[in-house]
Structure 1
Amino acid sequence: MAFIHRELRHKLHLYARKGGKKSRRRQIERIEIFVEWCRRPAEQIGRRQVHEFFQAHDFAPTTARDYYYAICQLWTLLGREGKPPSPPFLGE
């Protein structure tokens, strides 16, 4: 995980310690997959990369929704304002 620095890794660890363990663990896996797919540090990921990620993958609607919620959590952990762009069919 070369693109996830120590501070973000620590925040992910703290996030995983609360709530449903399997759900949190899976959400962290999705965050890691997304960040690695972007091939850049998490702090440099923006709306464009989110759009490209959903365009590059042919996810089932529920899988896309799960990735969207994981990316929303990443946005929160990074201290970003607002929400990331949603997959086209979610219409959020």
Structure 2
Amino acid sequence: MNQELFYRLHQHARKGGKVARRRQVKRVEAFVRWCGRAPAQIGRRQVHEFYRAHAFAPTTARDYDSAIRLLWRTLGRAGEPPRPPNAAGGGPTS
């Protein structure tokens, strides 16, 4: 993972609720590893594929959604990443 991104995520984990933020950073890292590409090359398509490839429980999907949104903000992306399919108000339909 890109060193600057790694640094920014760990700065995020140092503030607020430590356990929850550390879990969130671990989810971001797991998502980036799953994608198998540089974080700057991850887009909406990879998020859709990630949710399709995993049968997450609603609470786990919500936690990954939060982590991916953190990644999006950290990378300075415009807009919002796709929502999990079982989230209210959005997500891919298959």
- Residue in 1 aligned with 2:74? 77
- Residue in 1 aligned with 2:16? 19
Distance 1:77 1:15 in 2: 9
- Residue in 2 aligned with 1:43? 40
Q: Match of 1:39, as an amino acid?
A: G
Compute the TM-score of the two structures, normalised by the length of structure 1. Answer: 0.94
Question: When the two structures are aligned, how many residues end up with a matched partner?
Answer: 89
How many percent of aligned residue pairs carry the same amino acid?
62
Q: Does 1:89 align with 2:86?
A: yes
Q: Match of 2:26, as an amino acid?
A: E
Supply the RMSD in Å over aligned alpha carbons: 0.7
Distance 2:79 2:57 in 1: 25
Runs of 4+ with >6 A deviation: none
Distance 1:34 1:88 in 2: 16
Q: C-alpha displacement at 1:26, in angstroms? A: 0.1
Q: C-alpha displacement at 1:82, in angstroms? A: 1.2
Compute the TM-score of the two structures, normalised by the length of structure 2. Answer: 0.92
| Relative contact order, higher structure (CA 8 A, sep 6+) | 1
